[in-house]
């Protein structure tokens, strides 16, 4: 019981520490969110300002913007800890590394993913997304963006020791993120066409459960390889 309580306390302390650091570094919060807004608002300029056309592609635009925003913020997940040596201390901790990595992943999503989810209805309105698809968009992003953070954590952990890792990180992360992108976009489009949303939410929920179970384990193993 004591060990369990200690691990739980370490989990909460890691989560609180990362959130406090993100709060002090306002750019970690503002940059991904602003990037999401910029990418989403530039699509009408590059494609077409026609409202009907925008409504047809709005779901894909928002999901692509969310994915790119997650990619932008991904490098901050372990970089600062690696540079100041606290990542090595985390690896030497007596607590299971799985829970420490999971705490950092949750913090990353709260900082970079949750603001995107909350802002998505406003951008959807700007892109003329049909009103009956708003709930589907919000729920799919709520389930899908944590998966993007968890999958991206694996790529960051594998490349944390590399000096230039932007392209390598994209090559590792993007293929794993494509199924989430497809499921989220299809859910919004098919729901608008009359299909039930529950099946798509079940698929995204299963992806989230699998990611929570396996991604921190893979990230922990990758961190041990990268640091050692």
pLDDT (average), residues 165-173: 75
Q: Distance between alpha carbon 200 and the CA centroid of its chain, in Å?
A: 19
Q: For residue range 116-136, list pLDDT tens digits in order.
A: 999 888 888 888 888 888 898
Q: Rounded CA gap, 223 and 221, in Å? A: 5
pLDDT tens string 195-216: 788 888 999 999 999 999 999 9
Q: 51-64 pLDDT, tens per residue?
A: 787 777 888 889 98
Q: How does the average pLDDT of the chain come out, rounded? A: 84
Domain range summary for the chain, segments of one domain joined by +: 2-227
**pLDDT tens digits along 82-93:** 777 777 777 787
Predicted confidence (pLDDT) at residue 176 exceeds the cutoff of 90: no
Q: What is the pLDDT of residue 3?
A: 47
Question: What percent of the chain lies above the pLDDT cut of 70?
Answer: 94
What is the reported pLDDT for 83?
74
Please say whether the beta carbons of 26 and 112 come within 8 A.
no
Residue 119's H or E segment, with its range, is helix 114-126
Confidence of residue 144 (pLDDT cuts 50, 70, 90): very high
Q: Look up the pTM and report it.
A: 0.86
Helix/strand number for the chain, H first, E second: 10, 0
Phi, psi of 164 (to 5 degrees): -115, 110
The pLDDT of residue 74 is: 81
């Amino acid at each position: 019981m004591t060990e369990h309580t200690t691990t739980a306390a370490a989990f909460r302390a890691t989560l609180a520490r990362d959130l406090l650091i993100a709060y002090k570094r306002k750019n970690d919060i503002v940059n991904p969110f602003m990037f999401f807004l910029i990418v989403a608002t530039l699509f009408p300029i590059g494609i077409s300002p026609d409202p009907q056309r925008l409504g047809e592609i709005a779901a894909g635009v928002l999901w692509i913007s969310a994915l790119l925003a997650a990619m932008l913020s991904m490098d901050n997940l372990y970089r600062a800890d690696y540079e100041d040596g606290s990542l090595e201390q985390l690896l030497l901790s007596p607590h299971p590394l799985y829970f420490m990595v999971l705490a950092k992943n949750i913090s990353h999503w709260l900082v970079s993913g949750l603001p995107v989810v909350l802002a998505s209805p406003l951008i959807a309105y700007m892109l003329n997304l049909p009103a009956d698809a708003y709930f589907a968009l919000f729920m799919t992003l709520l389930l899908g963006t944590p998966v993007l953070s968890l999958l991206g954590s694996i790529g960051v952990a594998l490349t944390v020791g590399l000096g230039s890792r932007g392209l390598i990180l994209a090559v590792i992360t993007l293929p794993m993120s494509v199924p989430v992108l497809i499921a989220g976009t299809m859910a919004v489009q098919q729901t608008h066409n009359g299909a039930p949303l529950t099946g798509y939410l079940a698929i995204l929920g299963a992806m989230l459960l699998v990611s929570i179970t396996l991604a921190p384990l893979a990230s922990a193993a990758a961190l041990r390889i990268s640091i050692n």
